[in-house]
Structure 1
Amino acid sequence: MSRKSVSYMGIPIEYTLTRKPVKNINIRINEHGEIMVSAGRRVPSGYINDFVESRAEWIIRNLAAIERYNETKPDSGVYTGKKVYFLGQLCVIDVEEGEGERVLIDGNVISIYTKKADDHEAVKKMYLKWLYTEAEKVFSLRMEEIYSIISGEGVPRAALDIRNMKSVWGTCNIEKCKITLNLQLIKADVKCIDQVILHEYMHFKVRNHGADFYKLIDKYMSDWREYKKDLEEKYKDGI
């Protein structure tokens, strides 16, 4: 990898170039606003610079969009007063110093009791561990409920795995008969969780996203698009 720079109308555009065995020049901008360019090993540097400069308006427009998003997105800390989501409900974190290490939810207040109240990383780790525990209970129940509804389709009963993922709500491994759900789903309404579970279960019958697949989804949840939209637009708290 090497750092490169071009200028567009007096505006410097710095990017990181990675040489790869690819046919085309590819440009992407990550969540930190860093411009990443990949190109074949034999592509001249001047040609790559010209290509980046030709995409300057697109780059500048997307950099501005990322900056706006980063200014408004929630921070990733866990502290008293922090607003978070749990099962579709907006809650408030209350961190209290105490002898016992525990997390309790009462109404819309999630209380974290710990001897390390000033250790922000320890508090966050404790909160995430609690989320995993709650997610395992809720997801297991929802998996059973959805399976009882769709078992007539001849799909197998899948094992559950939970991971904190960035880009997908769920995945299925047909060979291992396993559905992996995103930990972040525990923040959403139960209907949103059901929508993802149903989606993954139906892949055991139809592996692609063609018309037959969505016909099956519609059969069991006609309003799934509403819940999918809610997942994309709501329940983001930065943690």
Structure 2
Amino acid sequence: MSIESRSITVSGLTVEVVRKPIKNLHLGVYPPQGRVRVAAPMAVDDEAVRLAVVGKLGWIKRQRAKFQAQPRQSQRRMVSGESHYFLGQRYRLRVHESSGTALHIALRGKACMDLFVRPETTVERREQVLQDFYRAELKRLVPELLEKWQPTLGVEVRAWGIKRMKTKWGTCNIEARRIWLNLELAKQPVQCMEYILVHELAHLHERHHNERFTALLDLHLPQWRTLREELNSSVLTEF
């Protein structure tokens, strides 16, 4: 499949233009920063893309303003009293310092997140302990969701992984049958992570976000639009 990608500037906006062998032009604005992306047929030139973007400038600005207005977590200092999120639940961090302790996270009920560190542990290392906790929990949860959804959708991935991504909740490499999930999903409700997984699995049936793709989601996860909106309006983390 031939794909061409480049960026153009329209009325001061940087627009990512991806040309594919598709029939119609699709314009989207994506969180967290309001990235503007146009998927266009191979034969559509830059001027036609420019005109399409100009015609939607009002809508694009409203979408970008909505994303910019979303609450964002401030820079984490990893000290007692901070709020951190896990599976959609807000936890109050409690830091316990002790020489020789094994660095780890433990949840206490549904309100407290205990971080065990040594007195000399840096902020960066404390943050890494939290990220390691998130990664381990996702690696525990994802196989259960795959076991549920792969037979339902009639597909099977060869590999999956977790990494931090700035602009996407998940990606699917169709040729390799490999899915990547954003580490930030550990902060979201399980249902939202489930939606992203189903979304990426559905791409193994249909590459594009067309009517067939939408019909697959409607059939297997009717509430997907609500979950997408919940993700797009969630507390964002700067990194």
In structure 1, the residue corresponding to 2:231 is in which secondary structure? helix
Q: Give 2:223's aligned residue.
A: 223
CA deviation vs aligned residue, 1:142-189 (integer Å, no higher than 9, x gap): 2222113222xxx23342111111110100011111110000111111
1:76, distance to aligned residue in structure 2 (A): 2.6
1:26, distance to aligned residue in structure 2 (A): 6.8
1:95, distance to aligned residue in structure 2 (A): 1.3
- Output the CA distance in 2 between the equivalents of 1:228 and 1:182: 14
- Output the CA distance in 1 between the equivalents of 2:218 and 2:113: 36
User: Please, what TM-score do these two structures have when normalized by structure 2?
Assistant: 0.68
In structure 2, the residue corresponding to 1:137 is in which secondary structure? helix
User: Please, what TM-score do these two structures have when normalized by structure 1?
Assistant: 0.68
Return the match for 1:144 from 147, 154, 179. Answer: 147
AA partner of residue 95 (structure 1): V
Distance 1:214-1:165 versus aligned 2 partners, 3 A rule: same
Task: Give unmatched runs, 5+ long, in structure 1.
Answer: 1-20, 34-57
Is the 8 Å Cα contact of residues 72 and 235 (structure 2) preserved in structure 1?
no
Return the match for 2:114 from 105, 111, 121. Answer: 111
Q: Give 1:88's aligned residue.
A: 88
Is the 8 Å Cα contact of residues 117 and 123 (structure 1) preserved in structure 2?
no
In structure 2, the residue corresponding to 1:85 is in which secondary structure? strand
Return the match for 1:120 from 115, 119, 123. Answer: 123
1:139, distance to aligned residue in structure 2 (A): 1.8
1:238, distance to aligned residue in structure 2 (A): 4.8
Is the 8 Å Cα contact of residues 96 and 117 (structure 1) preserved in structure 2?
no
1:203, distance to aligned residue in structure 2 (A): 0.6
Is the 8 Å Cα contact of residues 81 and 94 (structure 1) preserved in structure 2?
yes
Is the 8 Å Cα contact of residues 85 and 237 (structure 1) preserved in structure 2?
no
Is the 8 Å Cα contact of residues 179 and 200 (structure 1) preserved in structure 2?
yes
Is the 8 Å Cα contact of residues 140 and 160 (structure 1) preserved in structure 2?
no
Q: Give 1:53's aligned residue.
A: none
Return the match for 2:103 from 98, 101, 112. Answer: 101
Is the 8 Å Cα contact of residues 93 and 109 (structure 1) preserved in structure 2?
yes
1:220, distance to aligned residue in structure 2 (A): 0.4
CA deviation vs aligned residue, 1:41-71 (integer Å, no higher than 9, x gap): xxxxxxxxxxxxxxxxx9xx99xx69x759x
Q: Give 1:5's aligned residue.
A: none
In structure 2, the residue corresponding to 1:96 is in which secondary structure? strand
CA deviation vs aligned residue, 1:121-160 (integer Å, no higher than 9, x gap): 1111111111111111112222222113222xxx233421
Distance 1:101-1:23 versus aligned 2 partners, 3 A rule: closer
Task: Give unmatched runs, 5+ long, in structure 2.
Answer: 1-5, 15-32, 34-57
Q: How many residues align?
A: 184
Q: Give 1:198's aligned residue.
A: 198
Superposition map of 1:61-76 within 5 A: 69=69, 73-76=72-75
1:216, distance to aligned residue in structure 2 (A): 0.6
User: What percentage of residue pairs aligned between the two structures are identical?
Assistant: 24
- Output the CA distance in 2 between the equivalents of 1:69 and 1:22: 25
Q: Give 1:132's aligned residue.
A: 135
- Output the CA distance in 2 between the equivalents of 1:104 and 1:120: 18
- Output the CA distance in 2 between the equivalents of 1:215 and 1:238: 34
- Output the CA distance in 2 between the equivalents of 1:144 and 1:235: 29
